[in-house]
Structure 1
Amino acid sequence: MVEVLHPSRVAIVIAAGGRGERIGGDKPARILAGRSMLERAIDAAQTWGDTIAIAVSEPGQAAPSDLPILFDSAENLGPISALASAFRFAGEQHCSHVLLVACDMPFLHRDLLPRLAAAIGGKGAALPVASGHLQAMAGLWRVAPDELAAFIAQGGRSLRRFAEAQEALEIQWPTDGSGDAFEDIDDLTQLREAEARLSQ
Structure 2
Amino acid sequence: MKILGAIIAGGKSSRMGQEKALMEFRGRPLIAEVAARLGAQVDALVINANGDATRFQTLGLDVVPDRYETHSPLAGLHAALSCGAEQGFDAVLTVPCDGPFLPLDLAARLKPVLPAIAASQGQAHYLTGLWPSDLAALLDLELKSGLVRVMDWAALAKAREVEWTAASGDPFANLNTPEDFRAASAPK
TM-score class, shorter: over 0.9
Give the C-alpha shift of residue 61 in structure 1. 7.6
Query: Residue 147 of structure 2 aligns to which amino acid in structure 1?
Result: G
* Residue among 56, 62, 70 paired with 1:63: 56
User: What residue in structure 2 maps to residue 162 of structure 1?
Assistant: 153
* 1:60 Cα deviation after fit: 4.5
Instruction: Find the aligned partners of 1:61 and 1:126 in 2 and give their Cα distance.
Output: 32
Aligned to 2:75: 81
Shift of 1:119: 2.9
What residue number does 1:3 align with? none
Asked if 1:153 is matched to 2:151, the reply is no
Moved over 3 A (4+): none
Matched, 1:22 2:15: yes
- Structure 2: distance between partners of 1:70 and 1:157: 20
- The letter of the residue matching 1:109 is P
Please list, as runs of the form range in 1=range in 2, the aligned pairs for 1:42-121 lying within 5 A after superposition: 42-60=35-53, 62-64=55-57, 65-120=59-114
SS at match of 2:88: coil
Superposed CA offset, 1:50-99 (max 9, x none): 31100002224842132111011122332101111111110122111100
Does residue 188 of structure 1 match 2:181? no
State how far apart, in whole Å, the 2-side matches of 1:155 and 1:61 are: 31
Query: Is the contact made by 1:26 and 1:61 (CA closer than 8 Å) also made in structure 2?
Result: no
Is structure 2 residue 114 aligned with structure 1 residue 127?
no
Partner residue of 2:5? Answer: 12
In 1, the alpha carbon distance for the partners of 2:105 and 2:54 equals 28
The CA distance in 1 between the partners of 2:71 and 2:90, in whole Å, is: 24
Q: RMSD of aligned C-alpha atoms?
A: 1.4
Q: Distance in 2 between matches of 1:13 and 1:160?
A: 18
TM-score (norm. length: structure 1): 0.88
| TM-score (normalizing by structure 2) | 0.93
Deviation per CA, 1:103-145: give whole Å up to 9, x if none: 100001100111001232xxxx201121111111211111212
| Distance in 1 of aligned mates of 2:117 and 2:38 | 17
| Identity rate, percent | 26
Q: Distance in 1 between matches of 2:145 and 2:73?
A: 16
Which blocks of at least 5 consecutive residues in structure 2 are unaligned? none
Aligned-partner Cα distance in 1 for 2:176–2:61: 24
| Range with greater deviation from structure 2 (185-194 or 25-34) | 25-34
Work out whether 1:35 is the aligned partner of 2:25. Answer: no
Contiguous gaps of at least 5 residues in structure 1: 1-5
Aligned residues: 186
